[in-house]
Amino acid sequence: MDPILIPNVSIDCVVFGFDMQDLKVLLVDRDIEHNGVLHHDRKLPGDLIRKDEELDSAACRILHDLSGLQNLYLNQFGSFGGVNRLKSKERDLIWLKQIDHPEERVITIAYYTLINLTSAKEEYILRSNAKWTSLDSLGELAFDHAEIITKAYSMMKQNFKVNPIAFELLPDKFTLSQLQKIYEVVLKTQYDKRNFRKKISQISCIVPINEKQTNVAHKPARLYMFSKDIYEKTRKDNFDFTV
């Protein structure tokens, strides 16, 4: 039996991934045929919530169906309920006719999550027609999804400075250059290497380990890990990352 859905409330997920160069967003392909012409754009992964489903569980279900991944970092960052958010573009109206309640007003609760794209884990093989797209060239998007992604990025940036979420985008073991890169890409800034390292050396939860990079052409760099234990026990109130 199909699950009972709540017609007015959906969940949308902004999945950010970092491949050591670019910040990317996971988008689902959408093809719409109208008067014999095929129109292509993309949408965020999302779904209506089910009658007996917690909000976080719905986000987890959507992400798991999409990627096979579980236990992802989740941040519920806003709700989007513009009266005409689903009706402002003709192709959205055509697409909506395929679903059960095309006339309903849908308010969406949006989450962002962070994934390290460099891990060669098999689970990262995407199960659906979803693709990683650079945040700087998203192309045409469905509904108000461009607005949702803009807000997600803005909230993520703010969070980046006060909470240790950068490490969700990095492999477990990382170099200081990689750490600097993720801060530069997300905050759209440049750091002086020496100042950056001086600042990092004062953060006790970023721990040098007795290992170096392997399989690199250049001189292998020392690896570091983020210790959640030490972070929990040493932070005053927030992670203060203001280089």
Length of the chain: 243
Minimum distance between the CB of residue 149 and a second copy, rounded to whole angstroms? Answer: 17
Site of tokens 């095309």: 102
Alpha-carbon span 49 to 56, nearest angstrom: 10
Minimum distance between the CB of residue 231 and a second copy, rounded to whole angstroms? Answer: 16
Q: Write out the two tokens for 147.
A: 């607005």
Rounded alpha-carbon distances, angstroms, from residue 128 to 66, 134, 176, 204: 6, 18, 34, 41
Minimum distance between the CB of residue 44 and a second copy, rounded to whole angstroms? Answer: 16
Widest CA span of the chain, in angstroms? Answer: 63
Closer to a second copy by Cβ: residue 54 or 211: 54
Minimum distance between the CB of residue 208 and a second copy, rounded to whole angstroms? Answer: 26
Closer to a second copy by Cβ: residue 52 or 122: 52
Closer to a second copy by Cβ: residue 7 or 68: 7
For the chain, the first-to-last Cα distance in angstroms comes to 54
Closer to a second copy by Cβ: residue 51 or 219: 51
Q: How many CA atoms lie within 13 A of 195 on its CB side?
A: 6
Closer to a second copy by Cβ: residue 68 or 82: 82
Selection from 3, 7, 4, 2 nearest residue 108 by Cα: 7
Q: Which residues bind a second copy (CB under 8 A)?
A: 6-9, 49, 51-55, 76, 78-83, 105, 107, 109, 158, 161-162, 187, 237-238, 240, 242
Minimum distance between the CB of residue 243 and a second copy, rounded to whole angstroms? Answer: 12
